[in-house]
Amino acid sequence: MAVASLVLVASILSVVPASGTAGATGNANGAGSEPRLGIAALNPAAAADGLDVAPPEADGPNGLLEVLPAPGQGASGAVAGASSAGAPGASGSAGAAGGLAPLAAAGIPADPPVSSPAPTGPYLADGTLLKPVAVDTSVPDGSGTLRTYRVQSGDTLTGIARRFGLSMMTLWWANDLTSKDDLHVGQTLIIPPVNGLVVRVKDGDTLASIASSTGVSADEIVAFNGLTDRTVIIGQTLVIPGARGDAIPTPTPRPAPVFTARSSGSGSGSSGGGTSVRPPVSYGGGAFAWPVPGGYISQYFHTGHYALDIAADWGTPVRAAAAGTVVFAGWKNNGGGYQVWLANGSGLYTAYYHMSALSVGAGQQVSRGQQIGRIGATGWATGPHLHFEVWRGPMWEGGSRVNPLNFY
């Protein structure tokens, strides 16, 4: 009975609140001498920095962390606040004082509450917030230096190149042209910023291999294209200043008809004969016809270059500057490629070099302005043009070359 009575009394005492504590479950009478962190999470009005240093007298038992109550919460909070004197708060007002007093006593100002807007989404079905990130996948290269031009009626590749201060071959290489027939009205051409090549990186290419194949240093390629990485990427566009591509392929010329010379008392020559060429006795006089209609002088007559170079698009017709007899038509290994020589009378000769095709044969009589071939770059030539010579006296046999412009 005695034991039962003790158990009953103890049970009653355990549920009866102690006098003056109003249900508080802690105190501020601990003797901890070191600063402790006070968590003001329950005090949004104070809302310091979340973790504040409190004075020793505000320590809980055994110097443990103590949660500071919100104003008005008083002893009903989970842990009682401490007043400036260290007494437990017994009411709402006392709890407020107990919660703020340690901060003020420590000289720590209470920060105003800070609110942040809630993220607006998007969210996954499970509530996960998605934050999209834009990834910059662009690679620096030379594509930004390229321009375009739409071909108009009357344009030639040579004329377009001159308009932009480039060589005709630069446009030829940049646009992967294979013949003059590739150029048509409405076509869009790529216009590089300088003479050279436009290279599109393909599988297996490296900066070193591109530099080796083009003859331009890797450092120059990097600098001109503004590269930030020396590793090139497939599809990357690089402008290679000063580089050169393949020469325009030499087409197989059509066989020129063979004519016999016209002799006194006979009719006009016919094909298939083989008599010696008899040139005109005298030159009829008058100004020469321009041998390349639409062409322009790319190099004048001067010491070391005893001719006019007249540039034009590949395949442009070449015409006889004066009437005469064809004394040679074909290929010669003298650097002139496919060529035609005309005897114009009075010891005057005209010669036409680097052509891609011939329209006349040895012994044929031609008139002033008649087509004798087409512009090309055969022999020693860097681009399509006509090397045009005028001779006084037998060609390469005692004669001398004179300035063709003297006859215009």
Q: Which CATH number goes with the domain that contains 229?
A: 3.10.350.10
Q: Are 328 and 362 within 8 A, CB to CB?
A: yes
- Sheet with 51-54, side-by-side order of all strands: 51-54, 36-39, 66-67
Same domain assignment for residues 223 and 264 = no
Give one DSSP letter per residue of 199-223, joined into a string: EE--TT--HHHHHHHHT--HHHHHH
Same domain assignment for residues 231 and 311 = no
Is 349 within the bounds of a domain? yes
CA distance 3 to 117: 62
SS3 state at 172: helix
Q: What is the mean pLDDT of residues 76-97?
A: 42
Q: Which of 241, 261, 281 is the last residue of a domain?
A: 241
pLDDT over 90 at 320, yes or no: yes
Q: What is the mean pLDDT of residues 4-25?
A: 59
Q: Are 103 and 110 within 8 A, CB to CB?
A: yes
What's the pLDDT tens digit per position in 358-371? 999 999 999 999 99
What's the pLDDT tens digit per position in 276-289? 567 777 887 788 99
pLDDT at 99: 52
Same domain assignment for residues 361 and 304 = yes
pLDDT over 60 at 113, yes or no: yes
Element (H, E) at 325: strand 324-332
pLDDT over 60 at 195, yes or no: yes
Same domain assignment for residues 310 and 393 = yes
Dmax (CA) for the chain in angstroms is 168
Same domain assignment for residues 277 and 337 = yes
Is 117 within the bounds of a domain? no
Same domain assignment for residues 237 and 253 = no
Same domain assignment for residues 263 and 160 = no
Same domain assignment for residues 287 and 392 = yes
Q: Which of 208, 241, 274 is the last residue of a domain?
A: 241
Same domain assignment for residues 236 and 284 = no
pLDDT at 183: 78
pLDDT at 184: 82
With a pLDDT cut of 70, the percent of the chain lying above it is 62
Confidence category of residue 164, pLDDT binned at 50, 70, 90? very high
Same domain assignment for residues 262 and 236 = no
Domain housing 255: 248-408
Q: How far is CA 337 from each of CA 349, 358, 369, 376, 397, rounded to the nearest angstrom?
A: 18, 11, 22, 9, 20
Same domain assignment for residues 310 and 402 = yes
Q: Which of 51, 79, 105 is the last residue of a domain?
A: 105
pLDDT at 388: 96
Domain count across the chain: 3
- Tokens 């599109």 map to which residue? 200
Same domain assignment for residues 230 and 282 = no
Ramachandran area for residue 43 (φ above 0: left; ψ -120 to 50: alpha; else beta):
beta
